[in-house]
């Protein structure tokens, strides 16, 4: 039985998963004030190895914690790590490791398919994986909350609108007009890219993850869409397992 830990170090939160024989058996989510709890969780995991990706702010601290808890240093994901997908990005050193991990999670679920992988968080990333196993690249756009904040901060009279609430096709007051513009605009971007990709590639699977994935899914017209909240963790696990398979 193989047990692996996968750790995503975000800007403010840590999301971790314990995988047993490639099955996500347990999750841990906390912030950087809970590192002692993370150390204890990792120590009791009985994991043989770990992988992590992050924004850079706390990576060294979390890596040291994992090494102490497991007795072995975690693999830190970079564009130079051996992985199942080939990187077609022209500047791989600038490619966020969260994007690398997320597309690998989609590929692990749907190998051999053309994929549009959408991570709908603070920013929305729309990444394309070709059926031949090449991570082609993708687009980055403002997330829904960022759009609402930008309209408020860069105008003199528009209010700060909460993301939760009615999203009509046509807004009937300022709040619904702004919310519909942000939500439906983001959904339309996804639909448009998916449609154009299907024109050039043929069949295409759309996979959504991130905090706003379930919200945007409601307003997508695109067919063949799945939502998976744990794509990034599954991708880290896939990359880590690939190291053992290709030693």
Per-block average pLDDT, block size 10, for the chain (247 residues)? 93 93 95 94 95 86 94 95 96 94 97 97 96 97 97 96 96 97 98 97 96 96 92 98 82
**How far, in Å, are 58, 74, 100, 141, 229 from residue 52 at the CA level?**
11, 7, 12, 25, 17
> How high is the pLDDT of residue 222?
87
Q: Is residue 61 part of a domain?
A: yes
Which listed residue (8, 22, 59, 98) is catalytic?
98
Q: Is residue 140 part of a domain?
A: yes
Q: Report residue 157: phi and psi, to 5°.
A: -125, -15
- The domain of 170 spans 86-233
- Distance separating alpha carbons of residues 50 and 73, to the nearest angstrom: 8
Q: Decide if 226 is catalytic.
A: no
Here the tokens at position 141 are 């756009």
**How far, in Å, are 95, 113, 187, 215 from residue 101 at the CA level?**
11, 17, 23, 22
> How high is the pLDDT of residue 217?
96
Q: Does residue 95 sit in the same domain as residue 52?
A: no
Q: Does residue 114 sit in the same domain as residue 145?
A: yes
**Cβ of 96: how many Cβ atoms within 10 Å?**
16
pTM of the model: 0.94
> How high is the pLDDT of residue 38?
96
Domain-terminating residue out of 48, 76, 104: 76
> How high is the pLDDT of residue 58?
85
- Distance separating alpha carbons of residues 117 and 205, to the nearest angstrom: 8
Q: Is residue 244 part of a domain?
A: no
Q: Does residue 212 sit in the same domain as residue 123?
A: yes
Q: Does residue 105 sit in the same domain as residue 136?
A: yes
- Distance separating alpha carbons of residues 54 and 8, to the nearest angstrom: 6
Q: Does residue 23 sit in the same domain as residue 135?
A: no
> How high is the pLDDT of residue 247?
64
What total of structural domains would you count in the chain? 2
CATH number at residue 32: 3.30.420.40
Q: Does residue 28 sit in the same domain as residue 123?
A: no
Q: Does residue 139 sit in the same domain as residue 48?
A: no
Q: Is residue 59 part of a domain?
A: yes
Domain-terminating residue out of 76, 97, 117: 76
Residues 6+ apart with CB under 8 A from 168: 176, 180
> How high is the pLDDT of residue 223?
83
Q: Does residue 45 sit in the same domain as residue 72?
A: yes
> How high is the pLDDT of residue 56?
67
- Residue 49: strand, helix, or coil: strand
Q: Is residue 160 part of a domain?
A: yes
Q: Does residue 60 sit in the same domain as residue 100?
A: no
Q: Is residue 240 part of a domain?
A: no
Question: How would you write 185-242 as a 3-class SS string?
Answer: HHHHHHHHHHHHHHHHHCCCEEEEECCCHHHHHCCCCCCCEEECCCHHHHHHHHHHHH
Q: Does residue 184 sit in the same domain as residue 131?
A: yes
Q: Is residue 246 part of a domain?
A: no
> How high is the pLDDT of residue 54?
87
Q: Does residue 100 sit in the same domain as residue 164?
A: yes
User: How remote is the C-alpha of 163 from its chain's centroid?
Assistant: 20
Q: Does residue 129 sit in the same domain as residue 33?
A: no
């Amino acid at each position: 039985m193989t047990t692996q830990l996968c750790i995503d170090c975000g800007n403010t939160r840590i999301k971790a998963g314990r995988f047993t024989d490639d099955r996500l058996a347990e999750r841990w989510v906390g912030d950087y004030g809970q590192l002692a709890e993370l150390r204890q969780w990792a120590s009791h995991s009985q994991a043989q190895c770990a992988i992590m990706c992050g924004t850079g702010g706390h990576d060294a601290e979390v890596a040291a914690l994992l090494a102490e808890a497991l007795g072995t240093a975690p693999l830190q994901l970079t564009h130079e790590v051996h992985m199942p997908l080939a990187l077609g990005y022209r500047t791989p050193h600038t490619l966020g490791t969260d994007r690398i991990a997320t597309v690998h999670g989609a590929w692990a679920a749907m190998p051999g398919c053309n994929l549009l992988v959408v991570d709908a968080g603070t920013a929305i990333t729309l990444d394309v994986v070709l059926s031949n196993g090449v991570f082609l690249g993708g687009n980055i756009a403002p997330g829904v909350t960022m759009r609402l904040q930008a309209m408020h901060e860069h105008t003199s009279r528009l209010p700060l609108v909460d993301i939760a609430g009615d999203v009509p096709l046509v807004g009937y007051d300022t709040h619904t007009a702004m919310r519909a513009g942000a939500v439906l605009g983001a959904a339309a971007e996804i639909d448009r890219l998916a449609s154009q990709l299907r024109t050039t590639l043929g069949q295409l699977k759309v996979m959504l993850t991130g905090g706003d994935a379930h919200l945007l899914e409601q307003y997508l017209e695109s067919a063949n869409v799945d939502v998976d909240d744990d794509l990034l963790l599954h991708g880290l696990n896939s990359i880590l397992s690939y190291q053992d398979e290709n030693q």
